[in-house]
Structure 1
Amino acid sequence: MAWAEKMSSGRFRGGYRNPDGRKLYVTDGGRGYERKKDAKDVAQECEVQARRRAAVDEDRLLASVTWGEWWDAIGDAKTTDGDTDTARVVRNIVSAQLRPKWGNVPLNKIRHKLVKKWVEEEELKVRPRMSPEYVHRVFGLFKWSIKRAVDEEVLDASPCVGIKLPKRPDKPRAYISVSRAAKMGAFLREDYRDAVAFMLETGLRPGELCGLHADRIDFDTGWLEVVEVFVTRRRLIKPCPKDYDVRKVALSSKAMEIVRRRLGDRDPTAGCGQTHSDGTACHSPLVFLTIRGRVMSPKTLSDHITNASTKAKVTRQTAYAGRRGWFTRLAEGGLDPFAMAAQGGHSDVKQTTKYVQVTAAARARTLAALGEATPLTVIEGHRGAARGADPEVQPVKDSEIPDGEDVG
């Protein structure tokens, strides 16, 4: 039976016992719940899910279990980090698409023809204002849940095999090149200008950059360890990046120079001052702060980049365009795609290829491999220049940008 307890802050935490009898608590990221009822309701839900997970572990769930009950038993693998954008998208898909359709259907009653009809004729059929990408995302989550049932031997086979999904258009995505970053830099303050430059040197996701702690930088070996992420909506630090893929990224001399400049003479043991979702005490400062000393949030960073790209009259950019720019630079430089995937935090090389954008340099290398002479091409980020290259643009002084533009 779940219960609620009052915390020292005056808010409430929910309590429940797992199947082994051990007491567990839910505290909404350490802050607690404002209402006692909310804390108890969340604890009750966690208790039910814990029992179902235990049933899975002990092979006590039968194929007659409904899809909704099955998701309650295994879905936490997709939504454990409930404060992230990805976790929220998963919850939305489950509540809007999957539960209404399959929630009350037993797993052993989900047939191939029913799934096929669902995708080709019913709710997932592509229609005006419905993106094929959304269909892939919804179906991918459903397919994952069924695969788990097969892996756990609840089902003998998957009804999702052989389902034909709508083709996703393979269109180029905006990316920040070195020359575009120089143009945009004229309309970025120093703090955001350094953030853009650092993304082009490391390929960090926006949340990873904003959550980067100084102790994750090893100046002796020249490697950065990606561990923490800043979660915008809850304004807290999550202890591991997307897909729990703690990884290392090689640091260029320019990247290390940026880190030294951003840290300045700050105390390296002062801590970041932000709540960590795992409850641990922090003893290292964040590398990237705004000029007012505030945390640089991913959304604010993206807003500044978008505004700068508009003012610089280049292709509209967002924060993720910096990550695509890094992948594209590595591809142009000839880095092995598996090394790119490892440092970029991708488990599948196919995912990495989506980040590499087609450039003039890529075309020149292809033609050269075919034995065709090509004109000299500037590889951005390398020494030297050629006629027609974008000139360096002198950035404006920080004092020339109105205070009102800083919302971070």
Structure 2
Amino acid sequence: MAWVLERTGADGTRYMGVYRDTDGRKRSAGSFTTRRDAQRAANREEQKVLAGTWHDSSHGEITFRAYVETEWLPNKHIEASTRAAYISYLNKHFYPYLGDRRLNRISPSLVQDWVAHARDQGLSPRSIRKYHVMLSSIFARAVKDRVLVYNPCDHTELPKVITRKTRTLTPDEYTRLLAAIPDQHRLMVETLIEAGLRWGELVALKPRHIDFLRRSLTIEETIVEVSKRHSPTGQRYLVKPYPKDNEPRTFGVRQAWLDAIAAYIQANGIGHDDLLFPTRAGTPISRNTFRTRIWLPAVKASGIDYPVRVHDLRHAHASWLLAGGADLKSVMERMGHSQIQTTQKYLHTLPDTDQRNLDALNRIQNRH
């Protein structure tokens, strides 16, 4: 039950409304000139406590950085690689702009200013939206903790993401590109197009993942490369027991690839549990090192007139399968997609697909 305390001083009699918070501690609802006003104020705060809407405004005095590091991040149940990525995002994008500000002083306008600042710094609309999701989750947790009464990210105006039509590597372009890849890395690139793997899945491959009798490949591990500074173990490469969506997948591969891999394993003395494509030191190959030293020079030498990423070989794999008549469901399972919509985006992406449609239409008409 809320109550009133009467205090008499040099400036006369004042009345303070008093109530108990969610932990049973005495709280002041303010000082007033009349008992009635003090009682009303105390009753209002008490009703908030009873309704579960009361929050301790003093908690919001904590800085953004302190709240993230003592409350938000320690309570996130995420993988080590994701945690390392979050720390990198915070250090690069949020701490410089918001780190030392008190949490309850970060307004929607300040968040909007961060968006403008990020755009001026050259961050893409897609990246701004991704980082804004993370920022919003921090404030959403603060609201749940009753540190804040509202999320300042709720009504941010974000830059529009313009989806550009992507080009898919054609078989002819791939042949030219493969010819420009140094011999020692050529089979690795062939594996990307053969199996449509993500980079982390490729560098985690071992002979034990290959079933030569059943002509199949099982993806059950992935390697994530993180900064040593942000790694919880201090290691640059983190091995995850399962790839995306926590479920291994097995799919068929062609005999020609199996023959090439078998000869490669024998020639290099690769053990059953050794990495298939390691560095000379036996460690996983760095994605960025491969990109700068091997991939980009090969793309340039091939004469392909648009930027091609290593990951585009995975896209090409899916597009070629679908263009060749494979069904969506089987391609979805082969690629390890969790939703069919992800696989559908690879339909009709080859430049000659529409011409094949027209050829099919002509064949049907010419029958009659």
Per the normalisation by structure 2, the TM-score is 0.62
Determine the C-alpha separation between the residues in 2 that align with 1:290 and 1:75. 34
Is it true that 1:95 corresponds to 2:96 in the alignment?
no
Is it true that 1:115 corresponds to 2:111 in the alignment?
yes
- CA deviation map 1:86-128 (0-9, x unaligned): 7665433312332244435565665545534543xx424x347
Gaps of 5+ in 2: 1-55, 228-234
Answer yes or no: is the 8 Å Cα contact 2:219–2:243 preserved in 1.
no
Determine the C-alpha separation between the residues in 2 that align with 1:117 and 1:157. 18
Is it true that 1:285 corresponds to 2:274 in the alignment?
yes
Aligned residue in 1 for 2:220: 226
Aligned residue in 2 for 1:201: 194
CA gap of 1:70–1:226, structure 2 versus 1, over 3 A, is farther
Which one-letter code corresponds to 1:373 in the other structure? L
Determine the C-alpha separation between the residues in 1 that align with 2:275 and 2:299. 26
Which one-letter code corresponds to 2:251 in the other structure? A
Match of 1:69 among 58, 66, 70: 66
Answer yes or no: is the 8 Å Cα contact 2:221–2:241 preserved in 1.
yes
Determine the C-alpha separation between the residues in 1 that align with 2:150 and 2:333. 32
3-state SS in 2 of match to 1:238: strand
- In the comparison of the two structures, how many residue pairs are matched? 295
3-state SS in 2 of match to 1:319: coil
3-state SS in 2 of match to 1:360: coil
Aligned residue in 2 for 1:171: 164
Which one-letter code corresponds to 2:294 in the other structure? H
CA gap of 1:123–1:94, structure 2 versus 1, over 3 A, is same
Determine the C-alpha separation between the residues in 2 that align with 1:153 and 1:216. 49
Determine the C-alpha separation between the residues in 2 that align with 1:123 and 1:310. 34
Answer yes or no: is the 8 Å Cα contact 1:289–1:295 preserved in 2.
yes
Aligned residue in 2 for 1:248: 249
Aligned residue in 2 for 1:238: 239
Q: Where do 1:124-203 residues align within 5 Å?
A: 124=118, 126-127=119-120, 129-149=122-142, 158-173=151-166, 175-203=168-196
Determine the C-alpha separation between the residues in 2 that align with 1:214 and 1:79. 30
Determine the C-alpha separation between the residues in 1 that align with 2:156 and 2:329. 29
3-state SS in 1 of match to 2:277: coil
CA gap of 1:375–1:225, structure 2 versus 1, over 3 A, is same
Aligned residue in 1 for 2:265: 263
3-state SS in 1 of match to 2:290: helix
Determine the C-alpha separation between the residues in 2 that align with 1:326 and 1:345. 13
Determine the C-alpha separation between the residues in 2 that align with 1:147 and 1:203. 37
Determine the C-alpha separation between the residues in 2 that align with 1:100 and 1:285. 42
Determine the C-alpha separation between the residues in 1 that align with 2:59 and 2:312. 44
Aligned residue in 2 for 1:277: none
Answer yes or no: is the 8 Å Cα contact 2:277–2:284 preserved in 1.
yes
Q: Report percent identity of matched pairs.
A: 19
Gaps of 5+ in 1: 1-59, 272-283, 377-408
Report deviation, 1:147: 4.5
Q: Where do 1:277-316 residues align within 5 Å?
A: 284-289=273-278, 296-302=285-291, 303-315=293-305, 316=307
Report deviation, 1:232: 7.9
Determine the C-alpha separation between the residues in 1 that align with 2:317 and 2:351. 16
CA gap of 1:195–1:78, structure 2 versus 1, over 3 A, is farther
Report deviation, 1:304: 1.9
Answer yes or no: is the 8 Å Cα contact 2:215–2:258 preserved in 1.
no
Greater Rg by CA: 2
Report deviation, 1:287: 1.8
Answer yes or no: is the 8 Å Cα contact 1:226–1:246 preserved in 2.
yes
Report deviation, 1:199: 0.8
More helix per residue: 2
Determine the C-alpha separation between the residues in 1 that align with 2:59 and 2:83. 27
Report deviation, 1:165: 1.7
Report deviation, 1:356: 6.8
Aligned residue in 1 for 2:316: 325
Larger CA deviation: 243-252 vs 323-332? 243-252
Report deviation, 1:227: 0.8
Report deviation, 1:319: 1.8
Answer yes or no: is the 8 Å Cα contact 1:132–1:167 preserved in 2.
yes
Report deviation, 1:291: 8.7
Match of 2:354 among 363, 374, 380: 363
Determine the C-alpha separation between the residues in 2 that align with 1:259 and 1:232. 29
CA gap of 1:103–1:188, structure 2 versus 1, over 3 A, is closer
Determine the C-alpha separation between the residues in 1 that align with 2:251 and 2:160. 36
Give the aligned CA root-mean-square deviation in angstroms. Answer: 4.4
- CA deviation map 1:240-259 (0-9, x unaligned): 46666443142322543443
3-state SS in 2 of match to 1:133: helix
